[in-house]
Every structure is written in structure tokens, then in C-alpha cells.
Copies of this chain bind each other. A is one copy, B any other.
Amino acid sequence: METRSREELYINVQPIQAAGRLTADAMKAMISYGDGYSVCDFCLKPFRLDKIKKPAIEEFHFELAKFVGMDEARTVPGARRGFQAVVSSLVNKGDSVVLQAVGHYTEFLAIEQAGGIAHEVPINTSGITTGDAVAQTIEKARKKDGKLPKLVIFDHFDYTNANEHDIKGAVKAAKEFGIPVLYNGAYTVGIKPVDGKALGVDFVVGSGHKSMASPAPSGVLATTKEGAKKVFRTTKIEGDVSGRKFGIKEVEMLGCTLMGANIVAMMASLPTLRERVKHWDAEVKNSNYFVNEFLRVDGNKVVSECPRKHCLTKVDCTESFDKIAQKHKDHGYFFTHELDSRGITGIFPGATRSFKMSTYGLTESQVKYLAEAFVEIARKHSLEVH
């Protein structure tokens, strides 16, 4: 297997890798706890992974709940497993869920897995999901199905454009109908402050490998005391011959939660996350700096909302770099090579029309260098720069 070195050798603007790079502490923890059941050395009564005190997994779970402003938290193998647990707990076959027309695909899969129906909330002309649109979709769903949806899933920032959607309006709308809200924080938890209780949501899901400087698969599902009764319900099944019961194992968690290298790496990264979310404004400032420089190239467009409120941005170069690509012997790869030769990677290979990139975690000087590279490549290929 080839050694992976892009994080060491390049400025990596890959849209979903930026905030999942490990901290040095997480890497150390992984190395120490790489073996299979490594965290189970001191698994004592009541024999559930999230109750282990050495390493301090139990305490970490309290800290994790606090970190997202909720009462209880569990780790999960990826945000998608958090969606699955919530949907599976609240949605029976034929029940419906309201989610965004820009919602993440794994939310749809979780609904399909539970036999549920998906009702999408359209975005407005600015690409934003508003609270009013959520209310209208709930009404529409009620009329169509003859009953209210069981859940609203809401991506604070969507995965395509990373536009900020009206989470407060969505919560207000859902609460008027008494419908619980799952806050999908895959693009927020771990990079910007998230306070679930302040937002009034019932569930917060975050992605360890996307935004919490953790290895894949990892994630968090946090909830209120009320929500915990449903989603973290303990097992009731019994063996009809053996008479066995299974104690405090939780059904949706399938017993023990995230183990080994992944949980210890999450633990090791948490102090860094706590600190770095305080600097979200600086990250967004970098993002806007880049976008403004990028727009100096004649024909370059930004598909995401502007000014940027996130570091992930979808851009469109159909009228600039793609025009060069049309005539170039390497087609779109000319652009990839130009970036590569400048030590920049992470943009979809060969893409010169529409692509996503992220400036998250870059230093100010790296962002400047990145922006200059775009301008320089434009000039080299005779595109006008304003």
C-alpha cells in the first residue's frame, strides 16, 4: 500500500478532508490504542463501553454532550449511524420525515432503511431553506399523508454549497407542530460553536471524520433527557430458553458504542476542538478573502451564497479555466497539474467547471498563497484578472 502523504506535502483544499485531519494528540492516541479491543482493558460493571473510566471514556461522553450543548451524548461510527438511530427510533413504516431538498443523502438512506417517506423542503431563490418553507412542507405532508411527520432533519449548512440555512426558523416551525428536530451538524460540530439547547433542537449529530479531527468512522449523537429515553432506550428483549436479559445495553447503539483507536482519537482531539471553534470567525474571514481574490479572475463565479459564512465553497469556472481546458491537450487536467506544481491539491482531478473546495484550517499566509496561485494560473493562461 502506498504511503499517504498529501497532508504533509500539500496545501489540501479537499472539501471534506480539511476539518477531519487528525491533531497530533489524536495520532498519538491512535498509535497507542490501535489494537482491536484496546479500550476494554478496564471494562468493569456495568460492562458498557461508554461507562469505561480508564481511559476516561465516560467523562468524555459528558464533555461531548456539553460541547454541543445537550444532556447526553453517544459516539457513533459516523454521522449516518446517528441519523439511523434517531430515524429508526421515531419513524415507523409509512411515517414521514421532513428534510431539505439540499439535505445530505445519508439522511434519505436512513429514512429508506426505516421504511419512511421523505418530504423535501425547497430552498428559496437565494439557495436558503427558510422556516416558512419548513412550515409549509409540514402542512403539505400532513395533507398528503393524513398525519404529521415524525421528525424534521435539518442541515445547518448543506453539503453542496455550505450555505447557512435558517435553523432557528426551522425549529420554530417544527415546534409549532410538536415535531422533534434533528440538527445535522456534520459541517458545524467541531469547527464552529454549536449549542443544541440554545437552538431548541432535540438531537445533534456531528461527524468525527468530517469536522472533529478524528479518524473514520466516528461521530456523535447527542440529545436531551427526553430524547435519550427514546433513542438511547435500553434493551427489553429476553432469551426464551436461557432467560437472559442484556442489562443496560442500548438497542439503537447495538450495545457498545465507538471503540478503539477511533474513540481515543476523538477524545484526544476534543481539547483542540474546544479551542478552534472559538476562531470560526477567522476561518470564515479567510474563506471570504479567498473568494474575493478568486472572483478577480474574469469569468470565475461562486455558486455558494456570498459573503461566505463557511469555509467550504462551491465555485464555477466554466467561463474561465474551463475555456482553457477546452483547447488544452490535457483538458481539465492542465488545471490540476498547475495546482499540483504549486503544492496545492484536493480539487476534483480534471475539474474546471464546477467544484468544491475548503480553506478550513489553512493559515492566513497559506490562504494568500492559494489565492495568488489561482490568479497566477489565470494570468499564465491569458485570462483577464481585475
Contacts and interface: CB of A to CB of B under 8 A. Distances in A.
B37 A246 contact: no
A161 to B, nearest CB: 13
Given A41-B6, A239-B108, A17 B32 contact: no
A160 to B, nearest CB: 10
A240 interface: yes
A215 B55 contact: no
Given A4-B32, A4-B41, A106-B255, A216 B16 contact: no
A77 interface: yes
A65 interface: no
B21 A36 contact: yes
B237 A112 contact: yes
Interface string A1-38: 11110110000001011011110001101111111111
A267 interface: yes
A184 to B, nearest CB: 14
B36 A255 contact: no
Given A88-B113, A109-B249, A210-B37, A216 B7 contact: no
B260 A217 contact: yes
A237 B108 contact: yes
Interface string A112-143: 11000011111000000000000000000000
B239 A101 contact: yes
A344 to B, nearest CB: 14
Contacts of A42: 349
6 contacts: A16-B40, A17-B40, A21-B36, A38-B216, A118-B240, A216-B258
Interface of A: 1-4, 6-7, 14, 16-17, 19-22, 26-27, 29-42, 44, 54-56, 77-78, 80-81, 83-84, 88, 93, 101-102, 105-106, 108-113, 118-122, 208-210, 213-217, 235-237, 239-242, 244, 246, 249, 251-252, 254-255, 258-262, 264-265, 267-268, 349
Given A27-B31, A77-B78, A217-B258, 18 more contacts: A1-B32, A1-B56, A2-B54, A14-B40, A16-B36, A16-B37, A16-B40, A17-B35, A17-B37, A36-B210, A80-B254, A93-B93, A108-B244, A109-B249, A113-B254, A120-B239, A121-B241, A122-B241
